[in-house]
């Protein structure tokens, strides 16, 4: 092989590797949150001036895609172990939150009041948020 061919092969390998890494990063960015902390960050927090998805859901302003992702995030919570505190309390709170979010997603008549009750941050954080 000539020096030019080696250079071309090295350039091709670099482009291929860079493209692969970019695709992996994009796939990771689209992945659903995997931990309690990820769910809280993705659906209960937002940049200043932007409503988090949980607040949009309460106001009936979340898109169908946002509601779908919110429900998926709450499934993660329901399957997770309590970060702190009583496991039965954690399961009770997260299962109610999941059921209420599913009701919001399905536009059930009593969904918003159920979700508002289930999303009581202080009740959950007091019992389960690690120090």
This prediction has a pTM of: 0.74
Is the same domain home to 26 and 40? no
Helix axes 36-43, 64-79, angle to 10 degrees: 160
88-118: per-residue pLDDT in tens? 999 999 999 999 999 999 999 999 999 999 9
Is the same domain home to 115 and 53? yes
Is the same domain home to 45 and 92? yes
68 near 102, Cβ under 8 Å?
no
Is the same domain home to 73 and 12? no
Is the same domain home to 49 and 79? yes
2-21: per-residue pLDDT in tens? 777 666 555 555 555 555 44
Q: Say which range, 3-17, 34-48, 67-81, 115-129, has the weakest mean pLDDT.
A: 3-17
What's the number of domains the chain is made of?
A: 2
Domain, as residue range, for 2:
1-31
Is the same domain home to 22 and 66? no
């Amino acid at each position: 092989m000539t020096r030019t061919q080696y250079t071309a092969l090295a350039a091709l390998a670099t482009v291929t590797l860079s493209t692969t890494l970019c695709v992996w990063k994009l796939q990771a960015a689209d992945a659903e949150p995997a931990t309690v902390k990820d769910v809280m960050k993705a659906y209960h927090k937002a940049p200043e001036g932007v409503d988090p998805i949980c607040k949009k859901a309460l106001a009936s302003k979340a898109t169908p895609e946002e509601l779908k992702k919110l429900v998926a995030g709450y499934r993660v919570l329901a399957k997770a172990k309590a970060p702190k505190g009583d496991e039965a309390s954690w399961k009770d709170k997260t299962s109610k939150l999941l059921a209420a979010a599913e009701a919001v997603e399905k536009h059930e008549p009593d969904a918003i009041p159920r979700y508002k009750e289930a999303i009581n941050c202080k009740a959950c954080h007091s019992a389960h948020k690690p120090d």
